[in-house]
Amino acid sequence: MDMPSTVGGWATLVAAVTTILMLWSGALAGVAKLWIGDIVRRSVDKGMGPVQLELKAMNGELARVRLIEQKIENGLASDVAELKSGQVRIEDRVDRIVEHMAWDGTTERRE
């Protein structure tokens, strides 16, 4: 290859070399970006493992809490229905709660 002898020839050579370098550097940057992104994604997934396990446990506990809330709500609704129908007096209900809470362990506990 002969070296250019004019200013236009040198400008063309510099433009061609610059274009080739830009293409190669863009390709290398793209490959590096994918490689680094994959490494970062794997690191984040590995670091988030315990958090994901904790979230699964919390979801299980939340389901249990919702079930308990539903049972309490159903119990309260039935208590209100009993009170409206006049079957149970409030004093009787309070006495049962006091007996349950003040259990001394000597007799069978009322539920």
- The model's pLDDT over 48-62, given as tens digits with 9 standing for 90+, comes to 888 888 888 888 888
Structural domain span for residue 56: 7-101
Kindly state whether residue 80 falls inside one of the protein's structural domains: yes
Indicate the SS3 state at residue 103: coil
In this predicted model, what pLDDT tens digit does every residue of 13-32 receive, in sequence order? 999 999 999 999 999 999 99
Interatomic CA distance for residues 75 and 62, integer angstroms: 20
Whether 110 maps to a domain, the answer reads no
Burial class (CB in 10 A: 0-12, 13-18, 19+), 19: exposed
The CA angle 87-90-92, to the nearest 5 degrees, is 80
Which residues are within 8 A (CB) of 109 and not within 5 positions of it... i.e. 6 or more apart?
Answer: 100, 103
In a domain, 1, yes or no: no
Total structural domains within the chain: 1
Within a domain: residue 111?
Answer: no
Q: Is residue 29 part of a domain?
A: yes
Instruction: Please give the model's pTM, rounded to 2 decimal places.
Output: 0.36
Q: How confident is the model at residue 76 (pLDDT cuts 50, 70, 90)?
A: confident
Q: How far apart are CA 107 and CA 110, in angstroms?
A: 9
Residue 67 has pLDDT above 90, yes or no: no
* Distance, CA of 16 to CA of 23 (rounded, Å): 11
109 within domain boundaries: no
